[in-house]
Amino acid sequence: MNLAIFDLDNTLLDGDSDYNWGLFLVKEGLVNQKSHEASNKKFYADYNSGKLDIYEFTEFQFRFFKNNPRKFLDKLLERFIDEVAKSMITKKARHLIQEHRNNGDKLLIITATNSYITKPIGNLLGISDLIGTDLEEVNGEFNGKVKGIPSFKEGKIDRLNLWLKQEGIIFKDLEQTFFYSDSHNDLPLLRVVSNPVAANPDEILEKEASKNKWPIIFLR
């Protein structure tokens, strides 16, 4: 069996779902525009430069989930998926996924973005298995804390290993493993799989891919 792993933001999506969620909240008047946009831009820049403190970021992002009831959040998320996320999925991304599906490969999305936002996007892509940074819940409501290990940088490897164990899959027994990503933040996992692919790569990843003779593709 082969395993095809996909990053989500700026890989299968034309843009970043985390960042666009923030813009959506601003547009809806649900957060203070000036302060939220400033923080959103700062964290996005930190991510792109490889300097993101994932716990500082989740504290910022999860505050909105903590301060609002789940029923309201669920309805808001439905609108975000319909009005924003759907249009971010590219035809080339869908085609790539279908190629792996036709080959009988097991499909997995692994993303640093929280799983609450990204699981519905995975469903749109026909991929039910998704690893994201999880939000802790108490009695069905979010408490603003991270549950377990954030799926970021080396944490993606830790979370992948936990998922493989749950699925009863032994990594070394897989015939081929693919990982598609746009970001140098994913270099730890890219170096582990048998078939690393730089998809819409940032400058640092593109240089690393060229040096290692990894395939470089563009899905936009």
Given 7, 105, 182, 202, the catalytic residue: 7
Q: What is the pTM of this model?
A: 0.95
State the fold for domain 2-217: Rossmann fold (3.40.50)
Angstrom distance (rounded) from CA 186 to CA 194: 14
pLDDT of 163 reads 97
Question: Nearest 5 degrees, angle CA 85-CA 114-CA 183?
Answer: 80
pLDDT of 35 reads 86
pLDDT of 36 reads 86
| 9 catalytic per annotation | yes
Residues 6+ apart with CB under 8 A from 121: 8, 13, 17, 81, 85, 89
Q: At what angle do helices 70-80 and 115-124 cross, to 10 degrees?
A: 40
Domain boundaries, the chain: 2-217
* Residue 213 token pair: 């003779």
How many H-runs (helices) and E-runs (strands) does the chain carry? Answer: 9, 7
Mean pLDDT by 10 residues, the chain (220 residues): 97 95 94 87 89 91 96 98 98 98 98 97 97 97 96 97 96 94 98 98 97 97
